[in-house]
């Protein structure tokens, strides 16, 4: 693989990531976490976490710490909230390359990094930032450092691995410890290296990790263990320490956790069909071949072989798939391992004669997928973009370029494998470029929080007497206005000179009591994470939208 090609792919991915930094934050999770980070910075409450002034226990504080620190230096912006997570994406890509380099040739290691950098999930979690971006970075970094420690015996690798595990645990709990165990334990078992399972250094690792977890543990103890019985999601919490170190993760398997959704074992794999595009088919074949090879060798690795990636993915998937509460992004933590499995198969597909028969069917299948994806992307751009003429012209140009590539691929049969790899990168990067540049910004103009905050900021609306009345505003309003808005639910609580953010449906009722009220601003309100076909149809969109108003209450003359 040429260096120029590698740099072009990485630079193109970086451009898409950077564009994503400036998309308005999306409800629910990303906006909530950004709001919590801003509130932490504002209150200087770094050990105890609050959400709109209420106790918050769902996630550890690492994301909030780093995002608050970023906003302290760069100001409160969506991009400054996302910046630390973007840096962890770089760490994920680099650590994937370094881990693969320990066992495979440089070309395979480079391809592993490129596969991870260009999969759909990584594009998504660099603008819809949750804890998973940081978790993925911490976990693959710790696995790389542990694997390097086993090979070199350097203490620097050992302590860096401990830092990675502790950082991951302060990002999303014990899963950051379990994934390295799931990855390395089967590797040692298949190599019959039993002594690696019982080393005194592991006790030292527990001590080091425990010391690093002290700040988070102190905060949990002060906020919950000293005040048992606080109600979180309708459940009394006796111990914050137990909740984070056991219930939040293992409780989803044992049944102790109150969360119960998407419990199918195949739920995560179904979502990988889109989140690991365009590499999912290559990965599934590679995973099957790797498992088949180990089975043929009677569960014994030969010299130079590794099972860290295959075993780490399979066991982690089984653990997560057994949970009674799953979300699509839970599996992202092992996408770096999946990227290496994928790259190993791609290297065989491109370079080994034994895989010649695989090339044509994979070529035909993926060309069909790319045509479908480009068609869907162009359709989304056309129906959502305000400047439809410019977008249509641009879409026609892109379509022509894609068709030209497809024709060249079809005619030049001997070079199909390498060109197929190129068009995989070309398609997924190009599609996400236009999604981040046009689709998401257009879509998020229908999200109430950021548009209302923009009006409030531009017109210097006084925040001290501005309230939300009879509706849920999400978190983008609080984040972008840099203010926690109080709620009023009864007309008797309202007073003259109050400025009210409310549903347009409540306007008539407000006018009956405040006939002199002044409507300052009106705009759309739509839950953008629940896209529907009627909403995406321009002629039917208006029927799907709700309206909100910002009004000033005035006393009758």
Degrees to nearest 5, angle at CA 100 with 157 and 345? 160
Q: What are phi and psi of 102, to 5 degrees?
A: -70, -25
pLDDT at 82 over 60: yes
Ramachandran class of 292: left when φ > 0, alpha when ψ lies in -120 to 50, beta otherwise: alpha
Q: Is the pLDDT of residue 247 over 70?
A: yes
| pLDDT tens track for 387-431 | 555 565 665 666 566 556 556 655 555 555 567 788 888 889 888
Q: Return the pLDDT at 304.
A: 83
Nearest CA to 103 out of 422, 337, 281, 300 is that of: 337
Residue partners of 334: CB distance under 8 A and separation at least 6:
139, 179, 312, 313, 316, 317
pLDDT for residue 554:
79
Give the integer Cα–Cα distance in Å for 209 and 156.
Answer: 15
Please provide the DSSP assignment of 152-186 as one string. H--HHHHHHHHHHHHHHHHHHSTHHHHHHHHHHHH
* Displacement of CA 103 from its chain's centroid (Å): 28
- Domain ranges, ordered by start, for the chain: 26-351, 354-441, 447-552
Cβ atoms < 10 Å from Cβ of 58: 17
User: What's the burial of 336, exposed, middle or buried (CB within 10 Å: 0-12/13-18/19+)?
Assistant: buried
Instruction: Give the span between the Cα atoms of 60 and 424, in whole angstroms.
Output: 36
Distance CA 319, CA 107 (A): 32
Residues with Cβ within 8 Å of residue 141, at least 6 apart in sequence:
91, 92, 95, 160, 164
Q: Where are the alpha helices (DSSP H) in 385-506?
A: 388-411, 416-434, 440-443, 448-458, 476-481
* Tens-place pLDDT, residues 149-205: 999 999 999 999 999 999 999 999 899 999 999 999 999 999 999 999 999 999 999
User: Which pLDDT score is estimated for 213?
Assistant: 94
Question: Mean of the pLDDT values across residues 233-259?
Answer: 69
- Band (257; pLDDT cuts 50, 70, 90): low
Long-range contacts of 320-323 (CB under 8 A, 24+ apart): 320/268, 321/265, 321/266, 321/267, 321/268, 321/269, 322/253, 322/265, 323/252, 323/253, 323/263
The whole-number pLDDT of residue 405 equals 58
Distance between CA atoms of residues 79 and 62, nearest Å: 17
Residues in the chain: 557
What pLDDT is stored for residue 251 in this prediction?
55
Bridge partners of 519, per DSSP, are 551
pLDDT tier for residue 239 given thresholds of 50, 70 and 90: confident
Check: CB of residue 66 under 8 Å from CB of residue 50.
no
Spatial distance between the Cα atoms of 520 and 554, rounded to a whole number of angstroms: 12
Residue 206 has pLDDT above 90, yes or no: yes
**Three-state secondary structure call for residue 28:** coil
Taking 70 as the threshold, does the pLDDT of residue 519 lie above it? yes
pLDDT at residue 411, rounded to an integer:
59
Of 20-34, 148-162, 536-550, the least confident: 536-550
- pLDDT number for residue 422: 81
At residue 38, the pLDDT reads 95
**Region of poorest pLDDT, from 275-279, 413-417, 497-501:** 413-417
| CA pair distance 8, 332, nearest whole angstrom | 25
Q: Is pLDDT at 509 greater than 90 in this prediction?
A: no
Q: How far apart are CA 476 and CA 383, in angstroms?
A: 25
The first and second tokens of residue 287, run together, are 């995973």
Residue 437 has pLDDT above 90, yes or no: no
Of 80-89, 193-202, 284-293, 383-392, the poorest mean pLDDT is in 383-392
pLDDT band at 360, cuts 50/70/90? confident
Residue with the larger pLDDT of the pair 170 and 371: 170
Region label for 393, one of left (φ > 0), alpha (ψ between -120 and 50) or beta (otherwise)? alpha
The Cβ of residue 11 has, within 10 Å, a number of other Cβ atoms equal to: 9
pTM given for the model: 0.91
Element (H, E) at 55: strand 54-55
DSSP SS3 for 545: coil
Tokens 């505003």 locate to 473
Average pLDDT for 341-347: 95
pLDDT (tens digit per residue) in 137-146: 999 999 999 9
d(CA 118, CA 132): 16
Q: Is the pLDDT of residue 458 over 70?
A: yes
pLDDT at 268 over 80: yes
3-class secondary-structure state, position 148: helix
Q: What pLDDT band is residue 311 in, cutting at 50, 70 and 90?
A: very high
Phi first, then psi, for residue 130 (nearest 5°) are -125, -160
Mean pLDDT taken over the chain: 87
Return the H-helix or E-strand segment holding 549: strand 546-552
pLDDT at 205: 95
Residues with Cβ within 8 Å of 199's Cβ and at least 6 positions away in sequence, in order, are none
Tokens representing residue 284 in the block: 């599934």
Give the residues across from 546 on adjacent strands.
525
Q: Which residue has the higher pLDDT, 33 or 241?
A: 33
pLDDT tens digits, one per residue of 48-76: 999 988 989 888 999 999 999 999 999 99
Model confidence at 384, pLDDT cuts 50, 70, 90, reads: confident
């Amino acid at each position: 693989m040429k260096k120029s090609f590698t740099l072009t792919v990485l630079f193109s991915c970086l451009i898409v990531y950077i564009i994503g930094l400036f998309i308005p934050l999306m409800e629910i999770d990303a906006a909530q976490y950004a709001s919590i980070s801003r509130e932490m910075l504002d209150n200087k409450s770094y050990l105890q976490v609050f959400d709109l002034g209420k106790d918050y226990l769902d996630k550890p504080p690492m994301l909030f710490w780093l995002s608050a620190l970023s906003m302290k230096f760069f100001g409160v912006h969506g991009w400054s909230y996302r910046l630390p997570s973007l840096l962890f994406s770089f760490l994920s890509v680099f650590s994937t390359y370094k881990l693969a380099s320990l066992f495979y040739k440089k070309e395979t290691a480079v391809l592993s990094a490129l596969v991870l950098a260009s999969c759909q999930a990584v594009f998504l979690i660099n603008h819809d930032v949750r804890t998973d971006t940081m978790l993925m970075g911490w976990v693959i970094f710790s696995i790389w450092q542990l694997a390097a420690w086993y090979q070199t015996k350097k203490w620097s690798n050992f302590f860096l691995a401990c830092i990675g595990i502790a950082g991951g645990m302060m990002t999303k709990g014990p899963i950051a410890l379990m994934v390295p165990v799931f990855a390395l334990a089967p590797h040692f078992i298949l190599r019959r290296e039993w002594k690696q399972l019982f080393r005194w250094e592991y006790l030292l690792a527990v001590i080091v990790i425990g010391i690093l977890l002290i700040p988070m543990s102190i905060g949990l103890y002060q906020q919950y263990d000293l005040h048992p019985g606080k109600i979180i999601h309708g459940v009394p919490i006796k111990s914050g320490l137990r909740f984070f170190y056991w219930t939040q993760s293992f409780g989803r398997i044992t049944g102790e956790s109150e969360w119960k959704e998407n419990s199918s074992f195949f739920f995560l794999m179904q979502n990988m069909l889109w989140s690991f595009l365009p590499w999912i088919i290559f990965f599934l074949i590679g995973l099957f071949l790797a498992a088949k090879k180990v089975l043929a060798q009677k569960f014994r690795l030969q010299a130079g072989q590794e099972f860290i990636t295959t075993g780490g993915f399979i066991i982690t998937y089984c653990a997560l798939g057994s949970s009674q509460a799953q979300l699509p992004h839970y599996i992202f933590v092992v996408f770096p391992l999946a990227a290496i499995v994928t790259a190993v198969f791609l290297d065989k597909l491109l370079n080994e004669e034994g895989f010649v028969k695989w090339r044509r069917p994979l070529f035909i299948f993926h060309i069909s997928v790319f045509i479908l994806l480009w068609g869907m992307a162009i359709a989304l751009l056309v129906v959502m973009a305000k400047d439809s003429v410019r977008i249509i012209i641009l879409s026609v140009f892109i379509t022509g370029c894609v068709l030209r590539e497809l024709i060249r691929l079809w005619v030049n049969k001997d070079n199909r494998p390498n060109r197929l790899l190129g068009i995989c990168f070309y398609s997924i990067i190009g599609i996400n470029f236009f999604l981040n540049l046009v689709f998401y910004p257009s879509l998020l103009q229908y999200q109430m929080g950021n548009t209302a905050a923009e009006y409030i900021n531009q017109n210097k609306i006084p925040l001290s007497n501005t309230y939300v009345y009879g509706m849920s505003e999400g978190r983008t309003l609080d984040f972008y206005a840099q203010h926690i808005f109080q709620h009023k639910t009864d007309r008797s609580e309202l007073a003259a000179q109050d400025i009210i953010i409310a549903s347009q449906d409540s306007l008539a009722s407000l006018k009956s009591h405040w006939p002199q009220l002044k409507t300052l601003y009106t705009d759309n309100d739509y839950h953008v994470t629940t896209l529907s076909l009627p909403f995406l149809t321009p002629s039917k969109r208006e029927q799907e939208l709700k309206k909100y108003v910002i009004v000033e209450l005035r006393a009758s003359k």
